Amino acid sequence: MDLDRVIRTFVLAEQLEVHANQPERPVDVELVSWIGGDYRRLFLRVQGEQSTRRSGGGEMQGDVLYGRFIAPYWSVVAGARVDTRLRKDVVSVDGENPSNGRRAPSARSTRGMIAVGFVGLAPGWFELEPTLLVSDKGDVSLDLQSSFDLLLTQRLIVQPWVEINAAVQAVPEIGVGSGLNDVEVGARMRYEIRRKFAPYLGVSLLRRTGVTAATTHNLGERRSVGTIMAGLRIWR
């Protein structure tokens, strides 16, 4: 008995994918994991993107959150986020002549943030992870992720998702404007060869808005980015 007290470790590579149509051919990884029991869990989330081209940069974001299971479908979480961006090149406005372009914010920028939020399941079976972030400089932002499983068959599953980033204050160094920054919607269609092993294909559309869009536009990035991806979803 006491099997309910076993400490379990869950590691889900929700994304392990190549963005096939992007010039940088970035590889994108998202790990969602927890360790703990029924009521108390340590959540670890890692999201990273790395260009496979020599010119390209990357970014990584990691969360360490302590969670308490407070309601049937909800854990309240609190912890820290580290956000690192790496740029190897200066990017031009038109993408042709780097010397004409403005300077990129920096070659490498790292932000530390305090994170509080929820991890849970909203009515309608939506996985929901609203996270409020306060940076070491006092900037407040909000990150909201939600996804949903739609079963075409018992093994062929479409997972639409949305991610919304908003900020209270602008942080120009990293291209963050105030207000709604960007919205990304997408869908991945996976085939569960096994429950724990599912290759997938997906599409997404990132739309930057407001100040963020203008800033990043000046940095040579497009307002809207459509992505086609292929990858694997695995867990243990």
Partner 1 sequence: MTRRRFLHAAGALGALAGLRRLAPASVSPANGSQLIPDVETRVVGSNNRVELVIDRTPFGFGGRRGIATTINGSVPGPLLRFREGERAAIHVTNRLREDTSIHWHGLLVPNAMDGVPGVNFPGIHPGQTFVYEFPLRQYGTYWYHSHSGFQEQLGHYGPLIIDPIEPEPFQYDREYVVMLSDWSFENPLKILDNIKKQGSYYNFQRRTVGDFFRDVDRAGLRATIADRWEWGKMRMSPIDIADVTGSTYTYLLNGLPPASNWTGLFRPGERVRLRFINAGAGSYFDVRIPGLEMTLVQASGQHVQPVTFDEFRIEIAQTFDVIVQPTEDRAYTIFAESMDRSGHARGTLAPRAGMSAEVPKRRPRPTLGMMDMGMAMSMGGHGGMSMPGMDMSGTQAPAKPSADASMAGMDMPTPKPAAPAASGHAGHDMGSMRGMVTPDMASSGGAGVFEGTLRDGTIIRASNLRAPGTIPEPVMHAGSTHGSASAGTAMETRSRLSEPGAGLGEDGWRVLVWTDVKRLTPAATFEAPAREIELHLTGNMERYMWSINGIKYSDAPDPIPLKHGERIRLTIVNDSMMAHPMHLHGVFMELENGHGPECPYVHTINVKPAERVSLLATPVDPGPWAFHCHVLLHMDLGMFRVFQVSEPDGTMTTSEGAAV
Residues that bind partner 1 (CB under 8 A): 1-5, 8, 10, 38-39, 69-74, 121-125, 150-155, 195, 235
Closer to partner 1 at the Cβ: 54 or 194?
194
Nearest distance in Å: CB 222, partner 1? 33
What are residue 34's DSSP bridge partners? 10, 43
Nearest distance in Å: CB 84, partner 1? 29
Nearest distance in Å: CB 65, partner 1? 17
Run of H or E residues at 116: strand 108-122
Closer to partner 1 at the Cβ: 61 or 147?
147
Closer to partner 1 at the Cβ: 3 or 100?
3
Exposure string over 206-233, b if 16+ CB within 10 A, otherwise e: bebbbbbbebbeebbbeeebebebebeb
Nearest distance in Å: CB 142, partner 1? 23
Token pair of 228 as six digits: 């086609």
Nearest distance in Å: CB 4, partner 1? 5
Closer to partner 1 at the Cβ: 159 or 215?
159
Residue length of the chain: 236
Q: Between the CA of residue 125 and those of 9, 116, 142, 145, 209, what are the distances in Å? A: 23, 22, 22, 13, 28
Q: Map tokens 């004409």 to a residue.
A: 100
Cβ neighbourhood burial of 54 (10 Å; 0-12, 13-18, 19+): exposed
Closer to partner 1 at the Cβ: 151 or 205?
151
